[in-house]
């Protein structure tokens, strides 16, 4: 806004007189007013947190970071055989999509720094608050120690030798061996278990007893990778605790677990709640669908036509497997049923992707089947309201089945894995091999961000697949981010980088 210039002295005098009058009035009012604050309600710091509402106020923000779980691993899932983002003309031409798929990523890649920073910033927030007197109860301490252990578990899984941070500022200390971090996570969870809640509804999206059992089950299932010592029996024990609780059941409707309103899904052990207007940040449909799918689902903006799956991964799904419905295939239609065209060509998604880098045109834009595992909300603008599922009961059965198989207990292993397969409408296995267990995990857990860990455990992460040559063993760990080493000279780079 422009201010009109004052050009004559009389105007200045008038304004000055008014200003003096205003200030005189203010001084008079202030001199007649008692400015001592009258406190209507006050809670001393060492007494705050007694009520559940006060506790929620304190704890709630510490879970805010968990909502970024999907975002931190979204791009990193392209290191697996289940997901890729090929270059389509001028779209998705940045080098990271290719070097992630080929396992040739540079040491200073920003996604590793983002992951490390996210993990340790959340740990730091917990360490800052965990000594608050309001958190003194054994139940709250157990919950926060479990949440902190979860982040340490992610660090050891992705980076190997990492920092154990339990006090303010300790996230800038030196590294510990992977075995030491493993032992720390195990100890924190085992000591917290007795005081964790079994109420899965009130603890939805938070650390409950069963989430702790799940993290331990994952820890033990991958113990041979982490420490060189298998712990199959311990993995089974943790899986038993979840299954025997009867708090969770395998759904007969596979995709219902990933629906728009999936907070009551009976499979979910841990999820990160999203809402398209209140808690945003989950946009899986925008990242992967073809541009024309905007008209299929009446979306408020065009999708980015990025993520898809390879033909070989899609072909691992048997005919009749209800999980196959997680893939969009064939002709793209509008919401009114009109068969759409891409630049005059029938818009038909193709299973085959001719090359990782394709020339511009309909053939490139339509290459690759797209995931709709998470239901696409019609009319959505950008963000989705589906809660992202981190842990669920079907995974528990598959883990227990795998652990029993490793111990030579084939009948028990078959019972667990077939408990999942039968619900998915496919014939039960009669024999088990490494290959069909890994393939079954791929079909059930596709695009849930478990694939990298599974491939490493089955010694297939460095194998060749579509658009990926054989890679080097050291790639099973991500590099310690260069930015973090610059900030903390105590950090040492992982071998090979």
Q: What is the pLDDT of residues 3-48, one digit of tens each?
A: 333 333 333 333 333 333 333 333 333 334 444 445 444 444 444 4
Backbone angles phi, psi at 93, to 5 degrees: -95, 0
CA atoms within 13 A on the CB side of 102: 13
Whether pLDDT at 464 is above 80: yes
Question: What pLDDT, on a 0 to 100 scale, did the predictor assign at position 136?
Answer: 87
SS3 of residue 407 by DSSP = coil
Backbone angles phi, psi at 307, to 5 degrees: -65, 140
Confidence band of 76 (pLDDT split at 50, 70, 90):
very high
Which two structure tokens, joined as six digits, stand for 50? 């007694």
Confidence band of 59 (pLDDT split at 50, 70, 90):
confident
Predicted TM-score of the model (pTM)? 0.89
* C-alpha radius of gyration, the chain, whole number: 27
Q: What share of the chain is helix, strand, coil (3-state, %, to 5)?
A: 50, 10, 45
49-58, 93-102, 208-217, 394-403: least confident range: 49-58
Distance CA 240, CA 213 (A): 9
171-175, 236-240, 458-462, 477-481: least confident range: 171-175
Q: What is the mean pLDDT of residues 50-78?
A: 85
Whether pLDDT at 443 is above 80: yes
46-55, 191-200, 250-259: least confident range: 46-55
Distance CA 181, CA 477 (A): 15
Residues above pLDDT 70, as percent of the chain = 89
Confidence band of 57 (pLDDT split at 50, 70, 90):
confident
CA 120, 121, 122, 126 dihedral sign is: positive
Share the mean pLDDT of the chain.
90
Question: What pLDDT, on a 0 to 100 scale, did the predictor assign at position 297?
Answer: 97
Confidence band of 55 (pLDDT split at 50, 70, 90):
low
Distance CA 239, CA 244 (A): 8
Q: How many Å separate Cα 51 from the centre of its chain?
A: 31
Q: What is each CA distance from 476 to 33, 355, 406, 463, in whole angstroms?
A: 70, 25, 22, 11
Distance CA 281, CA 384 (A): 8
N- to C-terminal Cα distance for the chain? 57
Question: What pLDDT, on a 0 to 100 scale, did the predictor assign at position 56?
Answer: 73
Question: What pLDDT, on a 0 to 100 scale, did the predictor assign at position 171?
Answer: 85
Distance CA 114, CA 451 (A): 20
Question: What pLDDT, on a 0 to 100 scale, did the predictor assign at position 367?
Answer: 98
Q: Note the residue count of the chain.
A: 497
Whether pLDDT at 2 is above 70: no
Nearest to 269 by CA among 198, 322, 221, 192: 198
Q: What is the mean pLDDT of residues 374-396?
A: 96
Domain parsing of the chain, residue ranges: 51-267+448-487, 284-386
Q: What is the mean pLDDT of residues 171-181?
A: 94
Distance CA 273, CA 435 (A): 34
Question: What pLDDT, on a 0 to 100 scale, did the predictor assign at position 53?
Answer: 63
**Is CATH 2.30.31.70 the right assignment for the domain spanning 51-267+448-487?**
no
Whether pLDDT at 294 is above 60: yes
Nearest to 163 by CA among 453, 481, 495, 496: 481
Question: What pLDDT, on a 0 to 100 scale, did the predictor assign at position 54?
Answer: 64
């Amino acid at each position: 806004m422009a201010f009109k210039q004052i050009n004559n002295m009389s105007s200045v005098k008038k304004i000055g007189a008014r200003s003096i009058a205003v200030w005189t009035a203010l001084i008079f009012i202030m001199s007649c007013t008692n400015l001592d604050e009258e406190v209507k309600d006050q809670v001393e710091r060492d007494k705050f947190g007694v009520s559940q509402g006060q506790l929620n106020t304190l704890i709630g923000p510490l879970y805010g970071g968990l909502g970024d779980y999907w975002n931190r691993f979204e791009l990193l899932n392209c290191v697996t055989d289940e997901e890729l983002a090929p270059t389509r003309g001028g779209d998705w031409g940045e080098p990271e999509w290719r070097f992630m798929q080929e396992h040739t990523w540079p040491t200073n890649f920003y996604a590793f720094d983002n992951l490390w920073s996210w993990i340790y910033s959340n740990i730091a927030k917990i360490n800052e608050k965990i000594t608050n007197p309001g958190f003194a109860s054994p139940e709250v301490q157990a919950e926060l120690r479990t949440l902190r252990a979860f982040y340490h578990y992610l660090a050891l899984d992705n980076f190997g030798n990492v920092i154990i941070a339990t006090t303010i500022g300790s996230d800038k200390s030196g590294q510990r061996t992977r075995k030491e971090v493993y032992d720390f996570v195990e100890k924190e969870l085992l000591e917290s278990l007795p005081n964790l809640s079994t109420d899965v509804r009130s603890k939805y999206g938070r650390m409950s007893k069963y989430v702790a059992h799940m993290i331990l089950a994952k820890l033990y299932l991958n113990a041979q990778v982490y420490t060189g010592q298998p712990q199959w029996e311990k993995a089974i024990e943790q899986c038993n605790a979840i299954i025997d609780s009867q708090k969770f059941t395998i759904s007969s409707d596979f995709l219902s677990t990933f629906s728009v309103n999936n907070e009551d899904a009976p499979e979910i052990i841990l999820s990160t709640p999203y809402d398209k207007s209140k808690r945003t940040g989950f946009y899986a449909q925008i990242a992967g669908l073809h541009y024309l799918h905007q008209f299929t689902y009446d979306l408020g903006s065009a999708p980015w036509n990025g993520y898809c799956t390879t033909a070989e991964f899609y072909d691992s799904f048997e005919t009749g497997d209800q999980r196959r419905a997680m893939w969009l295939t064939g002709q793209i239609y509008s919401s009114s049923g009109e068969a759409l065209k891409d630049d005059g060509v029938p818009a038909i998604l193709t299973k085959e992707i001719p090359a990782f880098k394709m020339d511009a045109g309909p053939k490139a834009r339509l290459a690759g089947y797209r995931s709709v595992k998470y239901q696409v909300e019609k009319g959505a603008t950008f963000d989705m309201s589906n809660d992202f599922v981190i842990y669920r009961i079907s995974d528990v059965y598959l883990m227990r089945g795998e652990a029993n198989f490793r111990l030579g207990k084939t009948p028990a292993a078959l019972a667990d894995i077939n408990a999942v397969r039968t619900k998915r409408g496919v014939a039960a296995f009669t024999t088990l091999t490494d290959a069909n267990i890994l393939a079954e995990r791929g079909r059930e857990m596709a695009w849930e961000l478990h694939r990298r860990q599974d491939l490493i455990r089955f010694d297939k992460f460095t194998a060749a697949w579509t658009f990926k040559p054989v890679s080097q063993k050291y790639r099973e760990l991500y590099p310690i981010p260069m930015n973090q080493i610059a900030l903390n000279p105590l950090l040492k780079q992982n071998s090979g980088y």
